Structure 1
Amino acid sequence: MTTTPNKLRIDIVSDVVCPWCIIGYRQLEQALAETATPYELHWQPFELNPDMPAEGQNLREHLAEKYGSTKEQSDANRNHITAVGAELGFEFCFTDDMRMHNTFNVHQLLHWADQQGRKQDLKQAFFAAHFTHGRNLSDDEVLADVAAEIGLARDEALAVLKDQRFANAVRTAEKFWIDAGIRGVPAMIFNQRHLVTGAQGTENYKQILQQLAEEAN
């Protein structure tokens, strides 16, 4: 892993079915703009649900099983996430039939998009596909559609998913971050040294960026 001189390297370990990953990213993005920080961003793969079956699972059922969340707690959490997202210009549209998905194929397409310099665009498109439009990320046809909508080759996207050509590369990257101690996302690593976990808020990110700039000087 290399870093461009005079640019802050930011690795974000995340999954596209994690609401706090898009929230944390939007907060960091604001902080980077407000501090005029030169940076280069690298999205890194993490699966929240590597054992999720192909058909996925109802989101409420999943959260109840995983965290013991009641419907009232789930509703309150959804309302909070929706409000925070709205402040950052991201629309969350939670529904009763929303599902949690296995995202291994998503990460393979992101790896493919990275080779074309389009990983950032596809990552944002997948966040919106899942949280705003409620699309089925367990369906390879849907994943290829999302890729095509940002101008990538749909047929090639399907071929990537069919032959799983980047499966080993994604598994290797996932293992690297798990071996580095990452257990939850978002996890942001600045200059390959400073780990910040969770969505910290724009003001906190600005303080972090200012501290890093002072260190660099």
Structure 2
Amino acid sequence: MTKLKIDFVSDISCPWCAIGLSALEQALDHLQGEVSATLQFQPFELNPQMPPGGQDIGEHLAQKYGSSPEQQAQIRETIRQRGAEVGFDFSPAGRGRIYNTFNAHRLLHWAGVEHAGQQLALKKSLLQACHRERQSMESPEVLLASVREAGLDEQRAQAILNSAEFTDEVRAQEAFYTNSGVHSVPAVIINDEHLISGGQPVAVFENALRQIAAQLALNESGPRP
């Protein structure tokens, strides 16, 4: 079995990251027995300057992309359908508002450092709170509810939110991936070398991972005498 290290660079507020993660998980399920993967979540902020209180999502998308309400509704339905294909339920009404996600990334970093086995559960809970339940990603209560759902220590998480702990580490990781050429998410990086960009369908992830694993196995076997 080939072992892979997967860094999933993403933002909580990105719907395509929710789709990509669900598809990647299904692809890994299909590859059981062929591939063993260690999945780590890395921070990326689509809107690092978002002020407290957030912004209406329609207003935000119009300012950022110049999209009309009709275009936004069409994209929202496309996202909903793509999510349904991989088992992720989006709110039909969309997110409502978009918020700063830095504190969520600090908690994810903490989970990755101190409770790596529960980082995935925290990530999925945050994505569901944002995209299915339309909750505020800057709200300490919402973040702590996801911590509880993931089975993590709520008091420890509260202490992190009340401090600047992991701020420098998250900023450093964000800078690392941005400087490495990651400017859109999700960016799925395999063994620090191979990049799969975007919320791809299950088959795309499955085929790419199988090809990477096969090449690694061939390299490890070396030339025949």
TM-score by length of 2: 0.90
* C-alpha spacing 1:96/1:88, structure 2 compared with 1 (3 Å): closer
Deviation above 3 Å: which 4+ runs of structure 1? none
State the partner residue of 1:9: 5
The whole-number CA distance in structure 2 between the counterparts of 1:11 and 1:142 is: 25
**C-alpha deviation, 1:139, in angstroms:** 1.2
* One-letter code aligned to 1:107: H
Judged with a 3 Å threshold, the aligned counterparts in structure 2 of structure 1 residues 97 and 194 are, in CA distance, closer, same or farther, namely closer
Question: Does 1:119 pair with 2:119?
Answer: yes
Encode CA deviations 1:174-215: one digit per residue, 9 max, x unaligned.
111111111010001111111121122111112212211221
Query: Cα–Cα, structure 1 residues 89 and 183, in superposed 2: closer, same or farther, change >3 Å?
Result: same
| Matched letter for residue 27 of structure 1 | A
- Please show how residues 178-189 of structure 1 align to structure 2 within 5 Å: 178-189=178-189
Deviation at 1:96, TM superposition (A): 6.6
Cα 1:112–1:22 change in 2 (3 A) is: same
Determine the structure 1 residue equivalent to 2:102.
104
The verdict on how the C-alpha distance between 1:165 and 1:30 changes in structure 2, with shifts beyond 3 A counting, is: same
Which residue in 2 is equivalent to 1:86? 84
In the TM superposition, residue 94 of structure 1 has moved relative to its aligned partner by 4.0
Counterpart of 1:93 in 2: which secondary structure? coil
3-state secondary structure, aligned to 1:38 = strand
Give the secondary-structure state (helix, strand or coil) at the position aligned to 1:189: strand
1:65 is aligned to 2:63: yes
Partner Cα distance (1:92, 1:207) in 2? 26
Q: Which runs of 5+ in 2 are unaligned?
A: 219-225
State the partner residue of 1:21.
17
TM-score, length-scaled by structure 1: 0.93
Deviations 1:125-149 (A, max 9, x none): 0000001111111112221122123
The equivalent residue for 2:36 is: 38
Alignment of 1:156-175 (within 5 A): 156-175=156-175
Please give the alpha-carbon distance, in whole angstroms, between the structure 1 residues aligned to 2:45 and 2:14. Answer: 9
In the alignment, the residues of structure 2 paired with residue 206 and residue 167 of structure 1 have an alpha-carbon distance, to the nearest angstrom, of 34
Structure number with larger C-alpha Rg: 2
**Aligned pairs, how many?**
213
Counterpart contact for 1:136–1:142, Cα < 8 Å: yes
For residues 116 and 32 of structure 1, the distance between their equivalents in structure 2, rounded to whole angstroms, comes to 21
Please give the secondary structure, in 1, of the residue aligned with 2:182: coil
Task: Note the aligned Cα RMSD (angstroms).
Answer: 1.5
CA pair 78-96 structure 1, distance change in 2 beyond 3 A: closer
Percent sequence identity is 42
Amino acid at match of 2:215: E
Q: In structure 2, what residue type is equivalent to 1:85?
A: G
Q: 1:93·1:131 contact (CA, 8 Å) conserved in 2? A: yes
Kindly tell me: are residues 159 and 190 of structure 1, through their superposed partners in 2, closer, same or farther at Cα, counting changes over 3 Å? same
Match of 1:76 among 49, 69, 74: 74
